[in-house]
């Protein structure tokens, strides 16, 4: 495995406890018949009993009288096929003429941590800001200033901010991409109605929890898309729109990149180093040029299908992976988990 593969996501394993909807790495809930993968802690395929590598709850979920149906498990092949479909219906993504980036210095594994700015120019040479007038972009951007980036400081959510959350969810659910994702999840008996799906998205992404000393100071959306500062370092911050807007303001300084994906159109994937008001991100990762609904939908899919594990996808014939982790210290809705983090990796 190449060093940059290990570095690109730069996430921290938080562990995983099974929730009502989510497949956990140490459980067969929702995983009966799932193909064997060396990455899994334990297994739920039909030969696991003979091979003595089943999860402890295999019989309870996958036996003749089990709670889970194999037809409701999400297979690796289905993830590859669905991600290609979502890629194909991302109608709001940037066209090649909408963005020009200047990656400049390619950092080696021994350079990502030394906090040296090896790229004198900004990352973004040009962005067609007409993109930002599209409803999903406009409603997404309104959410970005709703957060205090320092962990340990309680988030105060105003009525206006709640309306902005609802508006964003309404806009993304109008897209073909999110309708296709919902139809797939409904077919897997994850949700009975679109209303139930939207309510769960609201909780898993915008529900508050504590990364600090009991203050409700964080959410999945804040961490992944807006970014946080914890213990003097940038935490999360995986969104290209947020990066562009802050770089334009002069508060983000691009240093270098350690990976540039194989795509010759958008979305692309970039692993990068940067500082935010002097706080450093050693290895970040971001889709470049995707729509907000694409990133939001893909991360949601992987969180539901493979929380705590690599979620292997395909975009435009190229393989890549998304890593998500659930927040394990608090729950909502009878044991469901909030999103702790989500980020794109290499294959």
Tens of pLDDT, residues 244-297: 999 999 999 999 999 999 999 999 999 999 999 999 999 899 999 999 999 999
Which residues are within 8 A (CB) of 12 and not within 5 positions of it... i.e. 6 or more apart?
Answer: 325, 341
Euclidean distance between CA atoms 122 and 240, whole angstroms: 13
Euclidean distance between CA atoms 176 and 86, whole angstroms: 9
Percentage of the chain modeled with pLDDT above 90:
66
Collapse the DSSP code of 79 into the 3-class scheme (helix H, G, I; strand E, B; otherwise coil) and give the result.
helix
Confidence check: pLDDT of 71 > 70 = no
Catalytic residue list contains 43: no
Euclidean distance between CA atoms 178 and 169, whole angstroms: 10
Query: Token pair 């270098």 is at which residue?
Result: 256
Pick the closest to residue 242 from 294, 296, 286 (CA basis).
286
The one catalytic residue among 43, 93, 230, 281: 281
Structure tokens at 198: 């939207």
Structure tokens at 293: 């609904």
Rg (CA), the chain: 20
Euclidean distance between CA atoms 311 and 192, whole angstroms: 24
Domain positions in the chain are: 23-63, 76-345
Count of residues in the chain: 347
Euclidean distance between CA atoms 58 and 36, whole angstroms: 14
Confidence check: pLDDT of 19 > 60 = no
Q: Say if residues 309 and 114 touch (Cβ distance below 8 Å).
A: no
Euclidean distance between CA atoms 293 and 316, whole angstroms: 17
Catalytic residue list contains 281: yes
The H or E element spanning position 322 is strand 318-332
Give the pairing type, strands 252-260 and 268-276.
antiparallel
The one catalytic residue among 45, 238, 257, 312: 238
Confidence check: pLDDT of 76 > 50 = yes
Pick the closest to residue 131 from 169, 74, 90 (CA basis).
90
Exposure string of 98-108, with b = 16+ CB inside 10 Å and e = fewer, is: ebebebbbebe
pLDDT digits (tens, 9 = 90+) for 148-182: 766 667 778 899 999 999 999 999 999 999 999 99
The H or E element spanning position 76 is helix 76-88
The one catalytic residue among 43, 45, 93, 223: 223
Work out the mean pLDDT of the chain and round it to a whole number: 88
The fold of the 23-63 domain, in CATH, is Factor Xa Inhibitor (4.10.410)
Catalytic residue list contains 105: no
How much is the pTM? 0.83
Res. 243 pLDDT band, cuts 50 70 90: very high
């Amino acid at each position: 495995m190449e060093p940059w593969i290990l570095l690109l996501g730069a996430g921290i394993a938080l562990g995983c406890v099974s929730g009502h909807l989510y497949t956990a790495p140490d459980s067969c809930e929702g995983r009966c018949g799932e193909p064997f993968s060396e990455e899994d802690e334990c297994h739920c395929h039909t030969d696991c009993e003979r091979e003595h590598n089943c999860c402890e709850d295999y019989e309870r979920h996958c036996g003749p009288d089990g709670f889970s149906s194999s037809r409701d498990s999400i297979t690796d092949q289905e993830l590859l096929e669905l991600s290609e479909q979502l890629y194909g219906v991302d109608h709001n993504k940037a066209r090649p003429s909408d963005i020009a980036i200047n990656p400049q210095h390619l950092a080696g594994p021994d350079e990502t941590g030394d906090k040296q700015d090896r790229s004198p120019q900004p990352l973004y040479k040009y962005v067609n800001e007409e993109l930002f007038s599209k409803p999903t972009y406009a409603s997404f951007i309104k959410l970005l200033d709703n957060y205090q980036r320092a962990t340990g400081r309680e988030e105060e959510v105003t009525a206006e901010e709640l309306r902005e959350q609802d508006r964003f969810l309404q806009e993304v659910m109008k897209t073909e991409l999110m309708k296709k994702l919902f139809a797939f999840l409904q077919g897997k008996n994850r949700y009975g109605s679109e209303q139930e799906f939207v309510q769960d998205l609201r909780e898993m992404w915008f529900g508050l929890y504590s990364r600090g000393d009991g203050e409700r100071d964080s959410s999945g959306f804040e961490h992944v898309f807006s970014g946080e500062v914890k213990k003097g370092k940038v935490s999360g911050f995986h969104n290209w729109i947020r990066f562009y807007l802050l770089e334009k303001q002069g508060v983000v300084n691009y240093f270098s990149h350690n990976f540039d994906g194989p795509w010759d159109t958008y979305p692309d994937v970039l692993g990068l180093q940067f500082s935010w008001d002097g706080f450093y991100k050693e290895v970040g990762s971001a889709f470049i040029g995707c729509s907000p609904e694409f990133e939001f939908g893909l991360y949601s899919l992987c969180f539901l299908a493979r929380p705590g594990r690599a979620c292997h996808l395909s975009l435009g014939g190229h393989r890549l992976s998304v890593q998500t982790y659930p927040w394990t210290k608090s729950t909502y809705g009878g044991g469901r988990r909030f999103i702790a983090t989500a980020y794109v990796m290499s294959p």
